[in-house]
Amino acid sequence: MAKIRVNLLGTTSVVLTDGSVVRDVGGIKPRQVLEILALALGSPVSKDRLIEHLWGDTPPRTCTATLESYVSLLRRRMGVARGRGSALATTSNGYVLDPDQVEVDVREFSRLVAPGAATAEAALTRTEAALRLVQGDLLASEPYAEWAADERVHFEAVFVQACNRAAEQALSVDRAGLAVELARRAIGVDGMSESSWQLLIRGLAAGGARSEALRAYLDLRRTLVDALGTEPSAASRALYLGLLDEDRAESAPDAGVHEVRTLLNLLRDALDGLPDVDLSLNDRHATTHTQHLVGAA
């Protein structure tokens, strides 16, 4: 049996059983009622909790009757009946969306990324399917609601963890490009996730992009220093030094020259990327001259 689908990853919408899409469910507060019920799919939400989320500490005197009218409006927009057998049912404990009749994209995401797949390839297939569900921020229609902000924080943690776990799996089956893509998606959500940066560095190195991997370490360091005033962890530094050691071994007997040339290029790129740093003409001439000397060594 076809289910009604509620999409919360991006702009809130409802896909009815006939495939038609409803984006206007009756206004801001009816939409919020739907979103709160969708987040709790299968579990009743009390009228008191709904009223608290909708109006905070200052509900109107007629809040209960108004809430009931919102639910009636939602049922009409969703094309469902009222009562205990409804897709949007009334229970003794409040209102509930029936999981046998309704599916929610964020719940599907969590199901797909949950650990337990038989193989790394199977887990990656499920994760890629989950990522296709993400059409924007969770509850993008609610940029100001405090309860929505709390849900976004929780989902972002789940998202980053899922990307990191999948990136590790991608590296285990020699899919360095996918590992890099997944790590970048995690960093896009949480730039402070050092484990995501480490996976990015490993993925770039595994794909043969060592200069980019070294540059990623410098980006990580700048991010941590600017935001937190801290240096990268010992594990991140070990990755960086390991890359330099590999370059040294492969470049012998010109290891020192190669390392200096690499560091000069990375340093100039890093300085050019800083908004408050403007290299003078003399600085640039000195850097260029040094590179020529290193190249001739």
Q: How many CB atoms lie within 10 A of CB 111?
A: 11
Query: Per-residue confidence of the chain (297 residues) as pLDDT tens digits?
Result: 799 999 999 999 999 999 999 999 999 999 999 999 999 999 999 999 999 999 999 999 999 999 999 999 999 999 999 888 999 999 999 999 999 999 999 999 999 999 988 899 999 999 999 999 999 999 999 999 999 999 999 999 999 999 999 999 999 999 999 999 999 999 999 999 999 999 999 999 999 999 999 999 999 999 999 999 999 999 999 999 999 988 666 655 554 555 555 666 666 665 665 566 555 555 555 455 454 444 444
Report DSSP letters for 130-148, one per residue. HHHT--SSBTTT-SS-HHH
The 3-state DSSP class for residue 201 equals: helix
Two structure tokens written together for 17: 């059983």
Given a contact cutoff of 8 angstroms between Cβ atoms, the answer to whether 164 and 193 are in contact is yes
Two structure tokens written together for 189: 């959500």
User: Which residue in this structure is represented by tokens 């360091």?
Assistant: 221
What distance in Å separates the CA atoms of residue 98 and residue 251, rounded to the nearest whole number? 64
What distance in Å separates the CA atoms of residue 35 and residue 104, rounded to the nearest whole number? 10
User: Which residue in this structure is represented by tokens 């890359």?
Assistant: 243
What pTM does this model have? 0.83
